[in-house]
């Protein structure tokens, strides 16, 4: 029975070319070292799910995957809200349990540090990570602001006008100034023929949505006051 189990696992998880190893199969509560579960490196750009209750090893599995990809020269981009993954930067310490577990799954435990680059919204914890209004685009920004179809159309006009006139949209201030210029300022007459008129109602609604989201502490700006999450890039 054990031989059949090993053959089935190795046949099912025997990719051609380079691969990473997740571990070994378990038969009747016993880890079978020879039944190695391997994933093709070329499959690692697909969707996947690591699920389980608290304490079952989800984070450790993610670390194992990231470490092996790093060894293969594949960059890994990970959102690290609680800081659980930051330990990749430091060489760990060994103990009998780790050695036993590593040998059981066929991946001997060797304490190793991995190169990481830390990004944050403020830049205080690492390299600053910033997005501009232009990076979001009108569709995504409309969803963030929860705009209706008419208001989303107005936002698309703003982006189109800015693109046609080489106007950078860096932060919300840029967007608000452009909205005011095209809805109530000199630009209102300018865009009427080529882009359509922007009503005061739509302009006001968009402006209120922007102010509301700014009041919640969300800002697209060159200066960030709060770091929302940390990101680790394993090279």
Which residue would you say has higher pLDDT here, 230 or 164?
164
User: What angle do the packed helices 200-215 and 172-183 form, to 10 degrees?
Assistant: 160
* Structure confidence at residue 101 (pLDDT): 86
The pLDDT tens digits for 29-61 are 899 999 999 999 998 888 889 899 988 888 888
Q: Please report, for residues 129, 159, 167, 188, the alpha-carbon distance to residue 182 in angstroms, rounded to integers and kept in the order given.
A: 31, 12, 13, 5
pTM: 0.56
First to last CA, the chain: 42
Nearest residue to 125 (alpha-carbon basis) of 233, 235, 231: 231
Residue given tokens 């659980």 in the structure block: 84
Contact in structure between 25 and 33 (CB atoms under 8 Å): no
| % of the chain exceeding 90 in pLDDT | 41
Contact between residue 127 and residue 148 where contact means Cβ atoms under 8 Å apart: no
Q: How confident is the model at residue 121 (pLDDT cuts 50, 70, 90)?
A: low
Q: What are the counts of helices (DSSP H) followed by strands (DSSP E) for the chain?
A: 8, 6
Secondary structure of residue 38 in the 3-state scheme: strand
Least confident of 65-69, 83-87, 179-183: 83-87
Q: What percent of the chain has pLDDT over 70?
A: 89
């Amino acid at each position: 029975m054990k031989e059949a189990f090993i053959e089935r696992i190795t046949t099912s998880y025997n990719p051609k070319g380079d691969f990473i190893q997740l571990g070994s199969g378990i038969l009747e509560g016993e880890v079978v070292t020879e039944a190695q579960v391997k994933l093709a490196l070329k499959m690692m750009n697909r969707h996947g799910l690591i699920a389980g209750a608290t304490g079952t090893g989800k984070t450790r599995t993610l670390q194992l995957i990231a470490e092996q990809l790093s060894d293969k020269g594949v960059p890994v981009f990970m959102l690290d809200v609680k800081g659980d993954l930051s330990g990749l930067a430091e060489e760990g310490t060994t103990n009998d349990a780790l050695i036993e577990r590593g040998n059981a799954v066929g991946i001997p435990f060797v304490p190793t540090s991995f190169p990481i680059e830390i990004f944050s919204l403020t830049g205080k914890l690492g390299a600053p990570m910033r997005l501009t209004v232009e990076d979001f685009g009108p569709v995504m920004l409309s969803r963030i602001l929860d705009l209706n179809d008419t208001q989303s159309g107005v936002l698309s006009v703003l982006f189109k006008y800015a693109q046609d006139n080489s106007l950078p949209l860096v932060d919300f201030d840029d967007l608000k100034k452009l909205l005011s210029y095209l809805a109530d300022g000199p630009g209102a007459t300018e865009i009427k023929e080529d882009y359509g008129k922007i009503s005061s109602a739509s302009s006001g609604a968009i402006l209120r949505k922007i102010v509301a989201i700014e009041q919640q502490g969300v800002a697209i700006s060159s200066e960030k006051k709060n770091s929302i999450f940390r990101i680790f890039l394993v090279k």
